[in-house]
Amino acid sequence: MDPRTTEADGKVQKSDVGVGKANGVGSISNKDMIFRADKIDLKSLDIQLEKHLSRVWSRDRDVQKPKEEWEIDLSKLDIRNVIAHGTYGTVYRGVYDVQDVAVKLLDWGEDGIATTAETAALRASFRQEVAVWHKLNHPNVTKFIGASMGTSNLKIPSRNSSIEGHSSLPSRACCVVVEYLPGGTLKQYLIRNRRKKLPFKIVIQLALDLSRGLSYLHSQKIVHRDVKTENMLLDTPRTLKIADFGVARVEAQNPKDMTGETGTLGYMAPEVLDGKPYNRRCDVYSFGICLWEIYCCDMPYPDLSFAEVSSAVVRQNLRPEVPRCCPSSLANIMRKCWDANPEKRPDMDEVVRLLEAIDTSKGGGMIPEDQTNGCFCFSVARGP
């Protein structure tokens, strides 16, 4: 090509810059090249610069301050011993900034076992739980302290007590920190009292705590979706507090947006079991089952499999059998709450009023099994 000719793309005109230095030989250096301004994509350069600055800003922000308003300072968290194992993780007792706390650790499956989709679902579930929990403030809802998402430097006590030091979760584990309640779960409390039963006054107190907590959640447009005695915790004065918001979600404007089996068999409402649209009244149904459980200190459907319970609740209107010794004022609340038609179930604020109106001064609780005049209310048949 003639050195005096012009490049087809118009970027460099060789006749202008020459082909050499003083001796007339050599190649064109970068500093000698001339670019036409009308050929430069300034918009693209702006976009690239903006992306670069954004990455730098994000990196600096991660180092300098928490990513979210609920993010905790891990340097203040001291994780101690295991207190429970769940479906999605392990619960430890610990201390955060001199306060006794429970620490729920979630392993996002980044150990080569879980699929990418499963890991993504766990992360989404974690964000959902935190987003719901950190805004709540009620005496019958477990107090949220904070959380850490995608943290690789958590100090986890070793499972082997003979090994000193700490073990680590797979990279990018996360945790939720809440107040520690020494009374354990409501389920454990009821099991401990299975033989001697509970005084009627305590039955109503526990029922009121649970109903008030649920009424508050519903007032915040939150559906818990897994109301059961295992998800209720007790503090030292035996105040009940609702916990575990792993499947809670803000109630959809359109009930058709809330479908699918979410919850625990035995407590799940018929419409949920049947895959139909549902709303906050699925919690009311679950409350009715919990109310029976609190009164009886027993498990519903002890002789049936999960599959049998699921089918019978939907198709045969199966419900726990209400003991004949149960006061009608309480029995009526149970039956209203677990009505097959969600629209006929009361709202939780109405349940609170009904429970507050019950007179506990004359007793009415289940009679302990070891007494000669024990209550023989139960029969083999189970029905509404």
Helical H runs in the chain? 14-17, 42-64, 116-133, 186-192, 200-219, 270-273, 281-296, 306-315, 328-337, 348-356
**99 and 193 part of one domain:** no
Asked if 270 and 282 sit in the same domain, the reply is yes
Indicate if 133 and 187 belong to the same structural domain: no
Active-site hit among 107, 209, 226, 339: 226
User: Across the strands, what pairs with 166?
Assistant: 157
Residues 6+ apart with CB under 8 A from 41: none
Token pair 């001291």 is found at 78
Residues 332 and 241 in one domain: yes
The phi, psi pair for 125, rounded to 5°, reads -60, -40
How do residues 234-282 score in pLDDT, each as one tens digit? 998 999 999 887 655 555 444 444 444 556 788 999 999 988 988 999 9
Give me 118's structure tokens: 């499963």
Task: Tell me, yes or no, whether 114 and 238 share the same domain.
Answer: no
CATH number at residue 89: 3.30.200.20
Q: Mean pLDDT, to the nearest integer, of 302-311?
A: 88
Q: Looking at the 3D structure of the chain, how many domains does it have?
A: 2
* pLDDT at res. 165: 47
pLDDT tens for 195-230 read 999 999 999 999 999 999 999 999 999 889 889 999
Whether 251 and 107 map to the same domain: the answer is no
327-366 residues labelled b (16+ CB within 10 A) or e (exposed): beebbebbebbbbeebeebbebeebbebbeebebeeebbb
Residue 265 neighbours by CB under 8 Å, 6+ apart:
273, 306, 309, 310
Do 190 and 317 belong together in one domain? yes
Which percentage of the chain shows pLDDT scores above 90? Answer: 42
Backbone angles phi, psi at 124, to 5 degrees: -65, -40
Same domain, 146 and 186: no
Whichever domain contains 242, its CATH number is: 1.10.510.10
Tell me whether residue 30 is in a domain.
no
Give the Cβ contact number of residue 29 at 10 Å: 9
Asked if 133 and 188 sit in the same domain, the reply is no
Helix axes 348-356, 281-296, angle to 10 degrees: 30
Do residue 350 and residue 247 come from a single domain?
yes
Do 78 and 211 belong to one domain?
no
Higher-confidence position of 73 and 113: 73
The reply to whether 98 and 217 lie within a common domain is: no
340: tokens are 């097959």
Q: Is 226 a catalytic residue?
A: yes
Question: In which domain, by residue range, is 87 found?
Answer: 67-158+168-180
Look at residue 326 in the predicted model and tell me its pLDDT: 95
